[in-house]
Structure 1
Amino acid sequence: MTVRQRTARFYAVTVFSRADLVASGMTSRDIVRAVEGGRLRRLRRDRYAIEPVSAEVAEAVRIGGRLSCVSLLVEIGVFVHLRGVLHVHVRPGSSRVRPPRSKHTLLHWNTWSGDPEPLHAASLGDALMQAVRCQHPRAAVATLDSILHHGLMTGEEVARVFERLPVRFRILLTLVDSSAESGPETFMRLILRTLGIAYETQVAIDGVGRVDFLVEGWRIIECDSREFHEGWEKQVDDRRRDLAAATKGYITIRPLASDILRRDSALREAVDAVVQSLGPHFRNAARSQLLKK
């Protein structure tokens, strides 16, 4: 499924109050039979879920809240850098809030925006607001890129989310680029920005195809990740593209996603070293070609 399809499926109403079930025509006996038969699962007092229900959603509802922040974004396929903790949004004033079963659970008591939301999940706007605050800046930008790239929110809707955040976060909006197709691409773009190197994103090159980055007109950077580049056939295609690019005078480098996401300082130094060592040669070659014309 696409991310938009996953989002629509996730936000479908799958958790009900007893009043919801009765309003649908079920009797008390019907509810008991549905639970005993495995069609419904009782998560807590007055909360029933259609099976199957994920462990994350079940725990969030059992606590007395809704799945939110990066935990929700992971469920729908939005890029999140680190995801080790369960994030649950509990509305201020909620009663009978149960303690989490795991210490790796973070309760968000942020004020509710008032956006419509089902019983099992915070609204996308609320989840995004919490995710921006919970992640380090580069990861937050990658999440924002992903939200926009997949068309889950418009730029105006994202801007409204930032109106509810402290002013210090608004600089992140200036770094967002919806053309990024993956988290590693966002991280790579931010590395290039810190180096002050001229680059273009998603550039189409005749005989090669579309590349992630074209840096200073001569170097191609492709941000490979296992999710999209696994399998020998894809590797063969990538190598043929690199050869085609080389015949046109481009040098291609393919940093690993794990290095982009976890070893960015070392990668930044390596990228800068390539520019410093090879850049003068390519710039001189370009000038020579201009003089011949």
Structure 2
Amino acid sequence: MASPLLPWLTGHGGIAHTSALRAAGFGTRSIATAVAEGAVARIRRSWIAAPDCSAGRRAAASVGGRLTCVSAAQERGLWTPRTDEHHVWVPSTASRLERGGLKVHCATPPISLPRTDPDESILNVLFHVARCLPRVDALAVWESALRTGAVDAAIVSSVRWGSARARAYATAAGHISDSGLETHFRELMASIGVAIRQQVWIDGHPVDALIGDSLVVQIDGFAYHRSADRRRDLRQDARLILRGYTVLRFDYVQVLFEPEYVIETVRTAMAQHRHLVGR
């Protein structure tokens, strides 16, 4: 007779600490029998894994840790940069690990979880992402979490992160969406006395901002555009240029974190009278 332990384990992420199994009603003997019959595998001493358990979760359990950062984000279906390492969290008191294929995180995240919990909090995932990845990639993961509803912007903004980089991304969270970026750009222009008109229709399509009569600004929110989307944007830019408009295109990283570049570029275009018809 098949052990009921396997379907329970599969329904709980594929891996569990023996203490969690015992709390669910599985005795020491039933656990040992399932391992002996090959229905499940024992990882280290106290972790039991189903055959379909991911390699990352097995790797984390093998060092007494928890899958986190970009690896946990990937398992949640968020956008992540490619990595060949398993990112795992272990407490700062853990012995030094020298194991190939692992990226070990020891910093204390905002959510405290039991060592026996294999599932990382999304807030902890974002915390480690902020500390670990390059800025553009980290912002991309954070944006993916916000866009998919994995986390709420209001919650993100209210967390005490304990990390300067995480706090910076939390502050930016409300501006990462396309509409938030446009508002941020409008405020940026207002700070230097430049008036803009938003969502002006030209040639049958709206542009994000129009300065004067002929300086168009398009703002790319975070998205790794599909080829068709990118070609559409380029066609629209070309149509505007052929009609005498100057088109400036900024992405969300530039608007949020490189405002000096955005301001200088707009000012230079205006100094060349690119916002005036018949310049």
Q: TM-score range by the shorter chain?
A: 0.5 to 0.7
Q: CA deviation at 1:193?
A: 6.4
SS in 2 for 1:285: coil
Question: RMSD value over aligned CA atoms?
Answer: 5.0
Please list the CA deviations of residues 213-269 of structure 1 after superposition, one character each: whole Å capped at 9, or x if unmatched. Answer: 547463244649994323xx5565344433454466544466899xx89xx99xx97
Relative distance call for 1:122 and 1:29 in structure 2 (3 A) is same
User: One-letter code of the match for 1:32?
Assistant: A
Provide structure 1 residue ranges, at least 5 long, that are not aligned to the other structure: 1-10, 289-293
Give the structure 2 partner of residue 8 of structure 1. none
SS in 1 for 2:48: strand
Equivalent pair of 1:41/1:48 in contact (CA under 8 Å): yes
Taking the aligned partners of 1:134 and 1:157, their CA distance within structure 2 comes to: 21
Q: CA deviation at 1:125?
A: 1.4
Taking the aligned partners of 2:201 and 2:41, their CA distance within structure 1 comes to: 54
Give the structure 2 partner of residue 42 of structure 1. 42
Please report the TM-score for the alignment, with normalisation by the length of structure 2.
0.62
Give the structure 2 partner of residue 176 of structure 1. 173
Taking the aligned partners of 2:153 and 2:114, their CA distance within structure 1 comes to: 20
Give the structure 1 partner of residue 162 of structure 2. 165
Equivalent of 1:122, from 109, 120, 123?
A: 120
Give the structure 2 partner of residue 229 of structure 1. 226
Q: CA deviation at 1:116?
A: 7.8
Q: CA deviation at 1:145?
A: 3.6
Relative distance call for 1:226 and 1:169 in structure 2 (3 A) is closer
Give the structure 2 partner of residue 60 of structure 1. 60
Taking the aligned partners of 2:90 and 2:239, their CA distance within structure 1 comes to: 54
Give the structure 2 partner of residue 283 of structure 1. 275
Taking the aligned partners of 1:70 and 1:215, their CA distance within structure 2 comes to: 38
Q: CA deviation at 1:157?
A: 1.6
Equivalent pair of 1:80/1:143 in contact (CA under 8 Å): yes
Equivalent pair of 2:15/2:57 in contact (CA under 8 Å): no
Please list the CA deviations of residues 49-103 of structure 1 after superposition, one character each: whole Å capped at 9, or x if unmatched. Answer: 3343333222112111001123322443445568575432123566xx6835217
Taking the aligned partners of 2:145 and 2:202, their CA distance within structure 1 comes to: 30
Taking the aligned partners of 1:199 and 1:169, their CA distance within structure 2 comes to: 33
Please list the CA deviations of residues 190-224 of structure 1 after superposition, one character each: whole Å capped at 9, or x if unmatched. Answer: 9x969x88698x9574655566x547463244649
Taking the aligned partners of 1:222 and 1:85, their CA distance within structure 2 comes to: 34
SS in 1 for 2:91: coil
User: Which structure features the higher share of helix residues?
Assistant: 1
Q: How does 1:74-223 map to 2 (within 5 A)?
A: 74-79=74-79, 86-91=86-91, 99-102=97-100, 105-110=103-108, 113-114=111-112, 119-135=117-133, 140-161=138-159, 163-165=160-162, 170-180=167-177, 203=199, 205=201, 209=205, 214=209, 216=211, 218-221=215-218, 223=220
Give the structure 1 partner of residue 70 of structure 2. 70
Give the structure 1 partner of residue 7 of structure 2. none
Taking the aligned partners of 1:133 and 1:91, their CA distance within structure 2 comes to: 16
SS in 1 for 2:125: helix
Relative distance call for 1:91 and 1:272 in structure 2 (3 A) is same
Which has the greater radius of gyration?
2
SS in 2 for 1:283: coil
Q: CA deviation at 1:127?
A: 1.9
Equivalent pair of 1:63/1:100 in contact (CA under 8 Å): no
Equivalent pair of 1:145/1:177 in contact (CA under 8 Å): no
Instruction: Provide the identity percentage.
Output: 20
Relative distance call for 1:282 and 1:111 in structure 2 (3 A) is closer
Relative distance call for 1:103 and 1:85 in structure 2 (3 A) is closer
Taking the aligned partners of 2:115 and 2:199, their CA distance within structure 1 comes to: 39
Taking the aligned partners of 1:130 and 1:92, their CA distance within structure 2 comes to: 14
